[in-house]
């Protein structure tokens, strides 16, 4: 087991703690008002002790409340045996990041107080713990907040290259150990925000086009809904030719979801059948927000 460990970590977001030291032997008696409070505590504890965390198990009751939640060390588990013994490998294997670590933190809901108490806390690690400079590289401790992104976006609009922007952010934060995100995280965030902005403008253009088709084509049909932020969520459409083919050959209908092959990463659903010449007929199409039951039901 690892010998390097701090004895206490300061936290401020759990019930009754204020800014006092939280000692390891007190953790099992802690209470939390919410799952987020428990996660914030364990995330801070993990960062102070040199490891990262991953969410593991999640259980709900019939009313939809979270009754059990578990987090594990990000070195938990092991790589599949067939991956380790693959002799036809074409690429250099990635570094081993799973060491069957048993460290974990689990909470459960008390039905009387409606607070979360600690059910399991295991703190024995099967690997060397990270130093203060190293721990920020764990995925659970990396975060690019909106303030940082606003500055990165402004620099991008002034044609400053990404590598130069990242170097500037590193210098501003005081070094790589303090920046809180990697260069890849920055590029991923930029790409995500650009897709979001493009989708918002393209969504309005698509709806306008489909509405014009409905105005000029009597049997054209389109239906869509929006999410909580009034953004396009799911959209379905079919034209008059698809309706005609459905009336003739719609005895058997199959729908297939392509896995996010479009630029926006949204599942495309095609409703298809076959005519009397065994030629595929498209009866309609839809773009979904995601592949959940709610999205399929809305469609």
The per-residue pLDDT for 73 is: 93
Would you say the C-alpha torsion 188, 191, 195, 201 has a positive or negative sign? positive
Same domain, residue pair 209 and 224: no
The per-residue pLDDT for 208 is: 80
Q: Are 94 and 81 in contact (CB under 8 A)?
A: no
Whether 38 has a pLDDT exceeding 90, the answer reads yes
Same domain, residue pair 147 and 266: no
Q: What is the pLDDT of residues 181-202, one digit of tens each?
A: 888 888 888 887 776 666 566 7
Total residue length of the chain: 299
Of 268 and 90, the one with more pLDDT: 268
Separation of alpha carbons 64 and 70, rounded Å:
17
Instruction: Give Cα separations from 214 to 99, 182, 222, 238, 297 (angstroms).
Output: 59, 47, 8, 10, 23
pLDDT band at 59 (very low <50, low <70, confident <90, very high): very high
Overall number of domains in the chain: 3
Same domain, residue pair 227 and 264: yes
User: Quick one: tokens of 277?
Assistant: 């010449």
Whether 268 has a pLDDT exceeding 60, the answer reads yes
The per-residue pLDDT for 53 is: 92
Whether 49 has a pLDDT exceeding 50, the answer reads yes
Domain C-terminal end among 123, 141, 159: 141
% of the chain with per-residue pLDDT over 70:
82
From the list 65, 48, 192, 214, the residue with the least C-alpha distance to 123 is: 48
The per-residue pLDDT for 273 is: 92
The per-residue pLDDT for 15 is: 36
User: Quick one: tokens of 179?
Assistant: 């920046």
Domain C-terminal end among 187, 215, 243: 215
The set of long-range contacts for 284-289, using a CB threshold of 8 Å and a minimum separation of 24, is 284/236, 284/237, 284/238, 284/242, 284/246, 285/236, 285/237, 285/238, 286/234, 286/235, 286/236, 286/237, 287/234, 287/235, 287/262, 288/234, 288/257, 289/227, 289/233, 289/234
Same domain, residue pair 222 and 276: yes
Same domain, residue pair 19 and 62: yes
Separation of alpha carbons 59 and 73, rounded Å:
19
- Give the residues across from 221 on adjacent strands: 238
Of 133 and 240, the one with more pLDDT: 240
pLDDT band at 98 (very low <50, low <70, confident <90, very high): confident
Same domain, residue pair 82 and 181: no
Same domain, residue pair 64 and 165: no
Residues 6+ apart with CB under 8 A from 285: 236, 237, 238, 268, 269, 270, 271
Whether 276 has a pLDDT exceeding 70, the answer reads yes
The per-residue pLDDT for 214 is: 80
Separation of alpha carbons 94 and 82, rounded Å:
14
Domain C-terminal end among 180, 215, 250: 215
Q: What is the pLDDT of residues 107-139, one digit of tens each?
A: 999 989 999 999 999 888 888 888 877 787 788
- Per the structure, the complete domain to which residue 179 belongs is given by 142-215
The per-residue pLDDT for 9 is: 44
- Give the residues across from 282 on adjacent strands: 272
pLDDT band at 243 (very low <50, low <70, confident <90, very high): very high
Of 94 and 249, the one with more pLDDT: 249
Same domain, residue pair 223 and 192: no
Q: What is the pLDDT of residues 139-186, one digit of tens each?
A: 888 888 888 888 888 888 888 888 888 898 888 888 877 787 888 888
Q: What is the mean pLDDT of residues 257-266?
A: 68
Burial class (CB in 10 A: 0-12, 13-18, 19+), 214: middle
Same domain, residue pair 131 and 35: yes
From the list 231, 273, 276, the residue with the least C-alpha distance to 254 is: 273
Residue ranges of E strands in 211-277:
221-226, 232-238, 254-258, 268-274
% of the chain with per-residue pLDDT over 90:
23
Whether 82 has a pLDDT exceeding 80, the answer reads no
Whether 217 has a pLDDT exceeding 90, the answer reads no
Same domain, residue pair 254 and 188: no
Same domain, residue pair 245 and 201: no
Same domain, residue pair 207 and 225: no
Whether 262 has a pLDDT exceeding 70, the answer reads no
């Amino acid at each position: 087991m690892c010998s390097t460990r701090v004895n206490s970590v300061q936290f401020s977001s759990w019930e009754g703690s204020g800014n006092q030291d939280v000692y390891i032997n007190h953790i099992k008696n802690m209470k939390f008002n919410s799952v987020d409070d428990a996660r914030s505590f364990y995330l801070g504890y993990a960062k102070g002790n040199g490891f990262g965390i991953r969410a593991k198990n999640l259980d709900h009751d019939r009313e939809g409340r979270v009754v059990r939640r578990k987090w594990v060390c990000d070195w938990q588990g092991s790589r599949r045996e067939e991956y380790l013994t693959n002799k036809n490998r074409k690429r250099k294997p990635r570094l081993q990041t799973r060491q069957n670590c048993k460290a974990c933190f689990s909470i459960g809901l008390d039905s009387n107080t409606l607070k979360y108490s600690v059910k399991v806390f295991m703190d024995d690690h099967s690997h060397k713990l990270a130093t203060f400079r190293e721990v920020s590289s764990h995925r659970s401790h990396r975060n690019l907040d909106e303030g940082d992104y606003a500055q990165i976006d402004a620099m991008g609009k002034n044609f400053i290259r990404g590598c130069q922007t990242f170097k500037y952010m590193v210098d501003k934060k005081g070094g790589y150990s303090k920046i809180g995100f990697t260069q890849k995280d920055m590029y991923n965030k930029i790409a995500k925000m650009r897709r979001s902005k493009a989708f918002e403008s393209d969504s309005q253009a698509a709806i306008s086009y489909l509405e014009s088709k409905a105005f000029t084509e009597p049997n054209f049909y389109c239906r869509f809904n929006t999410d909580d932020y009034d953004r396009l969520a799911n959209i379905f459409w079919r034209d008059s030719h698809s309706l005609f083919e459905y009336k003739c050959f719609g005895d058997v209908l199959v729908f297939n979801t392509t896995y996010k092959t479009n630029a926006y990463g949204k599942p495309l659903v095609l409703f298809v059948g076959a005519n009397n010449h065994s030629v595929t007929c498209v009866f309609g199409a839809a773009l979904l927000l995601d592949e959940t039951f709610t999205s399929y039901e809305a469609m």
